[in-house]
Homo-oligomer: A and B are copies of this chain.
Amino acid sequence: MTPQRLGVLKTLAGSVNHPTVEEIYEQIKRQFPTVSLATVYKTVSLLKGLNEVLELGFPDASNRYDGYRPFPHPHVICVRCRKIMDPELVNLEAISAEMSRKTGYEIQYHRLDFFGICPECRKSG
């Protein structure tokens, strides 16, 4: 356990808005100016392997991280400002079991994203 890792942990624990690695990095740099992006990447990857953080990867944007609820759950994503919200949970276990039965796959996890325009962006045209 190093100060850098502690910084990543604290940032993730204190962030409700699904930060990017870059945002985590900027946050830590305030208190620990010599930290490197690579270290943040490595730590986040480590936490992912320990199931302490949920990674939300996007092919056309930076990955986002959720340290609050490190298990699959739906997200609602604004395609304009990229804000991400966690709506109240919808349980997909039944659908997951149905998918497994229909396809023969051994389902391990899922991902459910809704894309649209958030209330703030709707207001501003």
Contacts and interface: CB of A to CB of B under 8 A. Distances in A.
Interface stretch (A5-13, A21-29, A30-38, A83-91): A83-91
Taking the full assembly, how many copies of this chain does it contain? Answer: 2
B112 A116 contact: no
Given A57-B58, A60-B57, A99-B87, A110 B106 contact: no
Given A60-B57, A74-B99, A110 B105 contact: no
B78 A105 contact: yes
A100 interface: yes
Interface residues of A, number: 37
Interface string A78-116: 110000010110100001101110111111111111111
B96 A108 contact: no
Contacts of A99: 74, 76, 87, 114
Given A58-B59, A76-B103, A103-B87, A112 B109 contact: no
A119 B95 contact: no
Given A74-B99, A100-B116, 11 more contacts: A59-B59, A59-B63, A85-B103, A85-B105, A88-B102, A96-B114, A107-B114, A107-B116, A108-B117, A111-B112, A112-B112
